[in-house]
Chain A
Amino acid sequence: GQQVMQIPQYQHVQEGEDFTTYCNSSTTLSNIQWYKQRPGGHPVFLIQLVKSGEVKKQKRLTFQFGEAKKNSSLHITATQTTDVGTYFCAGAVYNQGGKLIFGQGTELSVKP
């Protein structure tokens, strides 16, 4: 079945360092979404990518969707303590009626 793999599982950085998490799907995706979950909270939507090769930016966050629509990445420039949390990618496949599969997540900790 469809699988979405995400690495690394954990990342510890010093405040001001950059951070990247990678997402790979076993099947071609129709679109990919990214979510952030703060400790003790629920996932909150960040962004959606739909087009092959698409790049989107939100302030210090840069999201990319691969040309083959099977991989994606989230890059945070100059991390801040407010970036702490777990980042998830979630992929949907064409003709699967809205089935949304999440990666395992990358837990980011930021040391001040």
Chain B
Amino acid sequence: NAGVTQTPKFQVLKTGQSMTLQCAQDMNHNSMYWYRQDPGMGLRLIYYSASEGTTDKGEVPNGYNVSRLNKREFSLRLESAAPSQTSVYFCASSELGPWNTEAFFGQGTRLTVV
């Protein structure tokens, strides 16, 4: 069982470069999420997708774009990376019913912008 797979695991970017973080889940979940984790800030929601074909902004969407390519895949794009986007990024998925089921997280992507 792969669960939630994120790539890459580590990345160093120069300011102004762009990149896409990939996320795929094999649990047939409807909902997918992107979070960033910074020291003392917990997990902050960047974007989420309640179902295939829909995406919504979370708490900190500025500087990011997302694509829900299909039910399995949810990618996060940084168009012009800034040092403030240095963080650990987690993708997660869950089922959505009357209330959320447990969220499964990927291993994380450690991104450094220099």
| Chain A residues close to B by CB (< 8 Å) | 1, 6, 9, 30-31, 33, 35, 42-45, 48, 50, 88, 90, 92, 97-105
CB neighbours (8 Å) of A103 from chain B are 42
Chain A residue with the shortest CB-CB distance to B105? A42
| Chain B residues close to A by CB (< 8 Å) | 30-31, 33, 35, 40-45, 48, 50, 54, 56, 58-59, 90, 92, 94, 96, 98-108
What's the nearest-Cβ distance from chain B to residue A80, in Å? 24
Question: Top 10 nearest A-B pairs by Cβ distance?
Answer: A104-B42, A45-B102, A97-B50, A102-B43, A31-B99, A42-B105, A98-B31, A98-B50, A98-B96, A105-B42
Given contacts A1-B59, A98-B31, A98-B96, contact A6 B104 (CB under 8 A): no
Given contacts A1-B59, A9-B40, A104-B42, contact A42 B90 (CB under 8 A): yes
A9-B42 Cα distance, complex, nearest whole Å:
10
Is there an interface contact between B45 and A101, defined as CB atoms closer than 8 Å? yes
Is there an interface contact between A98 and B42, defined as CB atoms closer than 8 Å? no
Beyond A33-B102, A45-B104, A50-B99, list 15 extra A-B contacts (CB 8 Å).
A31-B100, A33-B103, A42-B106, A43-B90, A44-B105, A45-B103, A92-B100, A97-B50, A98-B31, A99-B45, A100-B45, A100-B48, A102-B44, A104-B40, A105-B43
What's the nearest-Cβ distance from chain B to residue A103, in Å? 6
How many residue pairs at the A-B interface have CB separations less than 8 Å? 74
A92-B31 Cα distance, complex, nearest whole Å:
13
Most B-side CB within 10 Å, residue of A1, A101, A104:
A101
> Which one of A1, A88, A98 contacts B43 once the chains associate, using CB atoms below 8 Å?
A88
Is there an interface contact between A100 and B103, defined as CB atoms closer than 8 Å? yes
A67-B74 Cα distance, complex, nearest whole Å:
36
Question: What would 22 A/B residue contacts be, using CB atoms closer than 8 Å?
Answer: A9-B40, A31-B100, A42-B106, A44-B105, A45-B102, A45-B104, A50-B99, A88-B42, A90-B103, A97-B54, A98-B100, A99-B45, A99-B50, A100-B92, A100-B100, A100-B103, A101-B45, A101-B58, A102-B44, A102-B45, A104-B40, A105-B43
